[in-house]
Amino acid sequence: MKNLSIICGLLLLSVSASAQSIRKIKITDLEQTVQESTTPLIVNFWATFCIPCIEEIPYFQQQVAAHKKDSVQLLLVSLDLPDEYPDGISRFMKKRKITAPVVWLNETNADYFCPKVDSNWSGAIPATLFVNNARNYRRFHEEQLSEAQLIKEMKMMLGQ
């Protein structure tokens, strides 16, 4: 019985350790994260209901992993509706095996937050911001990116 308790405890610990908590952020928090980033950063705006968003996340994760030596970071910013936060987003992440950090943007006024990311952003998703503050590099894409487009943009961001 004691061994069963220990095994159950370890299983619970491993499940909770692998479960990612999803922070609720405001656009000002995201602006600060981008401004203070000391490594190349990719900020991808997506939602669980967006098919093109879902299609591109796996190769974003793969390419960031492939550029580990370059310290490239990926931040997935969920634009899901409030009723999906946090449980719906968490279930989605688990089902899709998303391991990149995910935050939920707690903003309702796209006219307010979109221009803070890029002055030309209409609010359409997927959308991705590439930033490398060390190189004064900032580029925004308001479209689904193919893996080839992602690789090309990452090379430009890294100065390769």
Q: What is the pLDDT along the chain (160 residues), one digit of tens a residue?
A: 443 333 333 333 333 334 578 999 999 999 999 999 999 999 999 999 999 999 999 999 999 999 999 999 999 999 999 999 999 999 999 999 999 999 999 999 999 999 999 999 999 999 999 999 999 999 999 999 999 999 999 999 999 9
Query: Running DSSP on this structure, what letter comes out for residue 100?
Result: S
Q: Is residue 15 part of a domain?
A: no
Q: Is residue 25 part of a domain?
A: yes
Q: Is residue 116 part of a domain?
A: yes
Which residue from 134, 46, 132, 145 is spatially nearest to 96, judged by alpha carbons? 46
Task: Give the list of residues 6+ apart from residue 76 with CB closer than 8 angstroms, or none.
Answer: 44, 46, 57, 60, 98, 100, 101, 102, 103
Domains identified in the chain, total number: 1
The residue range of the domain holding 25 is: 20-158
Q: For 70-84, what is each residue's pLDDT tens digit? A: 999 999 999 999 999
Q: Is residue 3 part of a domain?
A: no
Q: For 126-151, what is each residue's pLDDT tens digit? A: 999 999 999 999 999 999 999 999 99
Q: Is residue 13 part of a domain?
A: no
Instruction: Report d(CA 121, CA 123) in Å as an integer.
Output: 5
Question: End-to-end distance of the chain based on CA atoms, in angstroms?
Answer: 59
* β-bridge partners, 141: 128
pLDDT > 90: what percent of the chain? 87
> What CATH number does residue 54 fall under?
3.40.30.10
